[in-house]
């Protein structure tokens, strides 16, 4: 019986899921908020003679929350499918390109991060150096999808962009209309269908694709189509369309 009890305890410990990747992991959720971070600062270069954007390390109230992980430009989000659990109230967010070789640490962003108790947010680090900014979206993940459907939305984080449409090329329908810069459309639920679903970024009224992406969706999940880059710039700063998962499963704070 003692061996059985010990086995149950070990199995329970192994089966526990670490829900948050944060310095505040396992703390009580009272007076806390959930935050996901997205890096779309197009000219955060580690070296002046490079065109490759640097990954960012993040500090909240002086505490490093990203560990050894750099938040990569564009498609990289932190902490992945999860959310960091942070104190409610007015926090300080600092983002830096970490030091490397003989190069010192490069400051990128130093702003206030206001968070409400029991709220969920996505924090988009946007605009270009020397005046980047924070675009904060308070999320509502309480919606329940109808059977066989999933949710999508468009976030416009492309500098210099006019209002943009998200067009579903597989479903032949507009999914979000005239979304301005530093704004997010409402989530729209659509049928999962079969296989990958294609999406295109377009100017309102145009059939020309400015960028494309595809998702193989799972019913019930919420996905964000993200456009980033700089209008009129080429190379790594050319406007692009990508996606990430905003809600992986049924929402609970």
Average of pLDDT values for 65-79? 89
Assigned CATH class of 141-247: mainly beta
List all residues 6 or more positions away from 228 whose beta carbon is below 8 Å from its beta carbon: 40, 42, 74, 157, 158, 239, 240, 242
Closest CA to 195 of 176, 170, 175, 213: 170
User: Which stretch, 111-115, 145-149, 238-242, has highest mean pLDDT?
Assistant: 111-115
- DSSP summary character for residue 80: T
Domain ranges of the chain: 19-139, 141-247
pLDDT of residue 7: 36
By CB atoms closer than 10 A (0-12, 13-18, 19+), residue 10 is exposed
Contact between 165 and 203 under an 8 Å Cβ cutoff? The reply is: yes
Q: Is the full-model pTM beyond 0.75? A: yes
The class of domain 19-139 in CATH terms is: mainly beta
């Amino acid at each position: 019986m003692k061996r059985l009890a010990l086995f149950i305890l070990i199995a329970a410990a192994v089966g526990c899921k670490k829900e948050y990747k944060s310095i505040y992991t396992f703390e009580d959720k009272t007076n806390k908020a959930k935050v996901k971070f997205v890096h779309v600062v197009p000219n955060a270069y580690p070296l002046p003679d490079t065109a490759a954007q640097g990954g960012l390390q993040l500090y909240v109230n002086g505490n490093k929350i990203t560990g050894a992980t750099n938040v990569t430009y564009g498609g990289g989000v932190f902490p992945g499918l999860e959310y960091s659990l942070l104190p409610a109230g007015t926090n300080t967010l600092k983002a830096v390109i970490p030091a490397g070789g003989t190069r010192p640490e490069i400051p990128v962003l130093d702003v206030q991060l206001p968070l409400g108790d029991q709220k969920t947010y996505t924090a988009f680090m946007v605009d270009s150096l020397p005046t980047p900014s924070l675009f904060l979206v308070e999320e509502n993940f309480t919606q329940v999808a109808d059977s066989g459907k999933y949710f999508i939305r468009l976030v416009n984080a492309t500098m210099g962009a006019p209002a943009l449409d998200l067009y579903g090329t597989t479903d032949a329908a507009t999914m979000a209309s005239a979304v301005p810069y530093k704004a997010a459309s409402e989530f729209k639920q659509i049928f999962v269908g079969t296989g990958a679903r294609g999406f295109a970024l377009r100017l309102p009224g145009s059939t020309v694709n400015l960028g494309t992406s595809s998702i193989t969706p799972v019913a019930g999940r919420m996905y964000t189509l993200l456009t980033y880059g700089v209008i009129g710039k080429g190379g790594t700063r050319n406007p692009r369309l990508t996606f990430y998962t905003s809600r992986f499963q049924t929402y609970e704070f």
